[in-house]
């Protein structure tokens, strides 16, 4: 199973900006407890590399990735820290080429058909549709993706995705998994509300099961 197949199996990827690496393991444990052992740790804070490294070493059962990867240097940081996949809000051909050369599965951000064709040219198998709700929501993605479904490209909508609209996104066969910031918010992590994070993860897992018809 490829990394992107594994993300699709989870269907929801918590998108996390973490300020203190000391919270890395309590965060990972909360997600594991909630049945969602996957996370995208964004390079929006200086703690990203240390967080990825701590989780990758101490919680190998977690599928840990890097988000907001904007440069070749961050590709190297993410991979060396133990990230198993990476994503970006936009598409940079040089970054994509570097990730491919280093063997890091990478999903660039797209918002238009032109972006999508550039991603296909770079042999991407999954792309981040970002910002998902401001860009037009599920209806927009369905229409953008329609001419490209035969290519097998899959999507990771992120930006405004919530528990309330999760079912609409997962109803689209082209959606592999959504990215969600609601599961582990910056405020909850800072406040040590790990029980709430575990409950948010459980609720997301239950919603995915209901949408996919699993018991």
Burial class (CB in 10 A: 0-12, 13-18, 19+), 73: exposed
Four-residue CA torsion sign, 167, 169, 174, 180? negative
Task: From the candidates 40, 57, 168, 174, give the one annotated as an active-site residue.
Answer: 40
Chain centroid offset of residue 61 CA: 17
What residues contact residue 14 under an 8 Å CB cut-off, 6+ apart?
A: 31, 36, 38, 39, 40, 179, 180, 181, 183, 184, 201
Q: Quick check: is 61 catalytic? A: no
Beta-carbon count within 10 A of 167 CB: 14
User: What is the rounded distance in angstroms from the CA atom of residue 32 to the CA atom of residue 26?
Assistant: 10
Burial class (CB in 10 A: 0-12, 13-18, 19+), 23: buried
User: What is the rounded distance in angstroms from the CA atom of residue 42 to the CA atom of residue 123?
Assistant: 23
User: What is the rounded distance in angstroms from the CA atom of residue 154 to the CA atom of residue 129?
Assistant: 10
Give the orientation angle of helix 72-81 with respect to helix 93-102, to 10 degrees.
30
Q: Quick check: is 128 catalytic? A: yes
Task: From the candidates 128, 142, 199, 214, give the one annotated as an active-site residue.
Answer: 128
The catalytic site residues sit at 40, 128
């Amino acid at each position: 199973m490829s990394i992107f197949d594994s993300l699709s199996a989870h269907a929801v990827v918590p998108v996390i900006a973490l300020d203190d690496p000391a919270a890395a393991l309590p965060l990972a444990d909360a997600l594991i407890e909630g049945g969602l052992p996957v996370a995208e740790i964004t390079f929006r804070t200086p703690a990203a590399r240390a967080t990825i490294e701590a989780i990758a070493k101490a919680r190998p059962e977690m599928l840990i990735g890097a988000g907001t990867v904007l440069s070749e240097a961050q590709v190297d940081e993410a991979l060396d820290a133990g990230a198993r996949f990476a994503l970006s809000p936009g598409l940079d051909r040089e970054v994509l080429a570097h990730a491919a050369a280093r063997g890091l599965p990478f999903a660039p951000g797209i918002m238009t058909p032109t972006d999508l064709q550039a991603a296909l040219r770079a042999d991407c198998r999954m792309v981040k549709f970002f910002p998902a709700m401001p860009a037009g929501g599920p209806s927009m993605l369905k229409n953008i993706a329609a001419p490209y479904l035969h290519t097998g490209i899959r999507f990771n909508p992120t930006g405004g995705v919530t528990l309330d609209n999760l079912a609409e996104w997962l109803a689209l066969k082209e959606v592999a998994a959504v990215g969600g910031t609601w599961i582990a918010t910056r405020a909850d992590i800072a406040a040590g509300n790990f029980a709430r994070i575990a409950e948010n993860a459980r609720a997301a897992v239950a919603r995915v099961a209901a949408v996919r018809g699993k018991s």
